[in-house]
Structure 1
């Protein structure tokens, strides 16, 4: 420990290094149920040179490095199970440059989603990736986050144009350019986005942004059964209606929404939907979507034109996980995160509901059904072996079902520690190729060790 502090003291200012008990504890955990573990020290870099100096020294002395944004991850990504140095980016939270004519923005990794959108609004622009939590941009890139708007605008991997990355040996590289496309070399953006801090540490990101739509309409479509809801989603996609968001929440989710927000929504499977565009075009889109919903026996089709009511609608969806947390003091949240081909979605959600009931758990189902990604929220006591075992088996059941249907064990939360055991099963021989890339870029294994891959 003293050796680490001595090394860091020669590289950073005293106020950039902390062993404060409270700060150490804050960096020992994320929002998941995974067991916390303290880092030895937390550092607060101010620029890429600070990161390079810390990472180079850590590599030389074999000290683990774990990047930390806001700790909102859900699979143990930021938990430093090998101790070492937690790198907190809260001092690297500058919006460096907005290029409105190029629809680009350049930011440091500690910038949050809401901070970025507040600044972009001045230019009539917005950043589209919306995972619900007000995460940092660096953290969102690290896990290839997506969220409610991915059905129209894509995920983090689709909006990252360039990254400045500090590698384990201290080299600083750029992974892309400012252009909309390139056929030059390997696509390093896609390699580093979603790498969860195991290949390098982000010091700067350049992102694609969009113009704020002229008109936004949002609403709820209520159905008697899950099958009706999923059929409506797939029919809307087949029809080519340009929806911006389509979120499915089951009856248990709506029940929790009503309790927390004092709303009186029908407690049935519900699709939250949003359209972006111009007023004339949206009228036609909404009418078409409504006719599709009616063909699938919807019980209600209600749109909110008022911006405050629209915000309240999405706030209910975004805060659903926290609603369950606040209603279950002393428990932790397990949020599963599988993704299947859209044609398999209805069967997957029905199977998930049966599995939750078979294990005797209280769980809700929700998801970004426009891209086949869905979640089960289960509250559990991590100190209760029986409860933890049931939740773990449920998670495993959902993953195996998804993989059998050609899906993936994680659509947006990332691998972290929670999904490591499924990597070989999902990727087959490609898994060893990934491990080879990891070893090539981080031969000493200091970059977020114990995440995505088991330590050799």
Structure 2
């Protein structure tokens, strides 16, 4: 028997009907939500606890069979695309919330728990988990890709909100990193090493997370602008004066048009638009709103509408989180490539206005949306159904990323690298740094079974 056949036979005896070679199941696990072509895994194994993950990895490592973890399947850069003749390890059944320590503002969850499920569980505790990428993301996948979202400007990303991990290494060893304390000066920071490693060094099965108290008061505000530059400069000024904003999001006029149609957003014009959210005590929120109104006025904002009505707030952020789907619905016969550039906030206006020119020159449709408070913005490049459509879209993507890199930025602020952004890694980090990353990969996974071919360019070392 081949190595793959040996592994499948061995795992079938252990997992029974929780290992599937069905084409429909394999197809579901062949891709994420990005533009990259999918690839069918040889089989899908559904695990339910850390020990089972260890069992699978031991077998794969012994026979040299590649494997990739799969959670919600919401990634955009090809992270979960299976390796050839490989196994997709589905962690979506690992959904236990293991502990909540309200007095210490932390919790421990299994990797398949979604952020929505965790916050629903915490609803009556006065606590919440703030990291909020779009879609039904699992917390294991969010940790593996170092995800963030609309609230990162105030609460940080998965890096800042992860206290510790349980990780299964390639050879099946189970390692616990970090803990429940808020600071430690003992040993290498393995937690930060695994956060953002995209399943290439180990598979995360449990996460110790930092929780936050629900704000006493929350208000939202919306302002529209005639010029995109004025909207971006509003965000830059807000950060430079140190206003403790809860969320601050930008949509250009194209993205607004898509969202108005998709999410039925009545009462808005098709103009560049900023969404704001303010958190804190009632008096503090009132002061933040007043300061923000003055900043908006200084940058030619068209009105400043604010509300502390939860229904208005939920409707607004639901529309924001549906922006990607709004773009795809905007041109139904097009595919979408989501860019993810980030720069120091002082360079944000130059990046976005320059990228807008790149889009116009390309002749493509690419709505702009972004977490501009932390220097991060996205375009959804809509790929026309023409023979050269994908090539043109990828050329525009490269222009935007290279523009960000030339301004001291990064090729990805939150989507990660996967397959989609590998080509930019050497320019951003330098060859020596990539050689060190490869050395770490070899040290943790000498047989290269863990999500091979992702993150690191093939020509490194």
The TM-score with structure 2 as length reference comes to 0.96
Equivalent runs, 1:309-348 vs 2, <5 Å: 309-348=312-351
Paired position in structure 2 for 1:174: 176
Paired position in structure 2 for 1:30: 32
Paired position in structure 2 for 1:249: 251
Q: Cα offset for 1:239?
A: 2.1
Paired position in structure 2 for 1:357: 360
Select 1:144's aligned residue among 143, 146, 152: 146
Equivalent runs, 1:40-189 vs 2, <5 Å: 40-189=42-191
Unaligned runs of 5+ in 2: none
Report if aligned partners of 1:65, 1:87 keep a CA contact under 8 Å in 2: yes
Report if aligned partners of 2:339, 2:380 keep a CA contact under 8 Å in 1: yes
Paired position in structure 1 for 2:310: 307
Paired position in structure 2 for 1:223: 225
Separation in structure 1 between the aligned mates of residue 134 and residue 74 of structure 2, nearest angstrom: 10
Paired position in structure 1 for 2:412: 410
Paired position in structure 2 for 1:430: 433
Q: What SS class does the counterpart of residue 129 from structure 1 fall into?
A: coil
In the alignment, is residue 193 of structure 1 matched against residue 199 of structure 2?
no
Select 1:285's aligned residue among 284, 288, 295: 288
Separation in structure 1 between the aligned mates of residue 366 and residue 457 of structure 2, nearest angstrom: 30
Q: Cα offset for 1:4?
A: 3.1
Paired position in structure 1 for 2:9: 6
Q: Cα offset for 1:426?
A: 0.8
Q: What SS class does the counterpart of residue 380 from structure 2 fall into?
A: strand
In the alignment, is residue 235 of structure 1 matched against residue 228 of structure 2?
no
Separation in structure 2 between the aligned mates of residue 261 and residue 85 of structure 1, nearest angstrom: 38
Q: What SS class does the counterpart of residue 123 from structure 1 fall into?
A: coil
Q: Cα offset for 1:13?
A: 2.4
Unaligned runs of 5+ in 1: none
Separation in structure 1 between the aligned mates of residue 198 and residue 386 of structure 2, nearest angstrom: 29
Q: Cα offset for 1:201?
A: 0.4
Q: Cα offset for 1:264?
A: 3.1
- After superposition, the C-alpha distances for 1:153-179 in whole angstroms (9 at most, x for unaligned) are 000000000000000011111121110
Paired position in structure 1 for 2:381: 378
Report if aligned partners of 2:66, 2:83 keep a CA contact under 8 Å in 1: no
Paired position in structure 1 for 2:451: 448
Q: Cα offset for 1:290?
A: 0.4
Report if aligned partners of 1:19, 1:40 keep a CA contact under 8 Å in 2: yes
Report if aligned partners of 2:45, 2:90 keep a CA contact under 8 Å in 1: yes
Consecutive aligned runs of 4 or more in structure 1 exceeding 6 Å deviation = none
Q: Cα offset for 1:190?
A: 1.2
Separation in structure 2 between the aligned mates of residue 336 and residue 449 of structure 1, nearest angstrom: 23
Q: Cα offset for 1:330?
A: 4.1
Report if aligned partners of 2:262, 2:329 keep a CA contact under 8 Å in 1: no
Report if aligned partners of 1:98, 1:104 keep a CA contact under 8 Å in 2: yes
Considering only aligned residues, what root-mean-square deviation do their CA atoms show, in Å? 1.2
Separation in structure 2 between the aligned mates of residue 144 and residue 90 of structure 1, nearest angstrom: 18
- Between 1:54-63 and 1:384-393, the stretch displaced more is 384-393
Q: Cα offset for 1:384?
A: 3.9
The 1:61–1:384 alpha-carbon spacing in structure 2 relative to 1, beyond 3 Å, is farther
Report if aligned partners of 1:449, 1:455 keep a CA contact under 8 Å in 2: no
Separation in structure 1 between the aligned mates of residue 387 and residue 437 of structure 2, nearest angstrom: 33
Q: What SS class does the counterpart of residue 13 from structure 1 fall into?
A: helix
Q: What SS class does the counterpart of residue 122 from structure 1 fall into?
A: coil
The 1:224–1:327 alpha-carbon spacing in structure 2 relative to 1, beyond 3 Å, is closer
Separation in structure 2 between the aligned mates of residue 239 and residue 427 of structure 1, nearest angstrom: 31
Separation in structure 2 between the aligned mates of residue 94 and residue 384 of structure 1, nearest angstrom: 46
Q: What SS class does the counterpart of residue 41 from structure 2 fall into?
A: coil
Separation in structure 2 between the aligned mates of residue 15 and residue 93 of structure 1, nearest angstrom: 19
The TM-score with structure 1 as length reference comes to 0.97
**Matched length:** 454
- After superposition, the C-alpha distances for 1:197-253 in whole angstroms (9 at most, x for unaligned) are 000001110000101111110111111212211221122222222111000110111
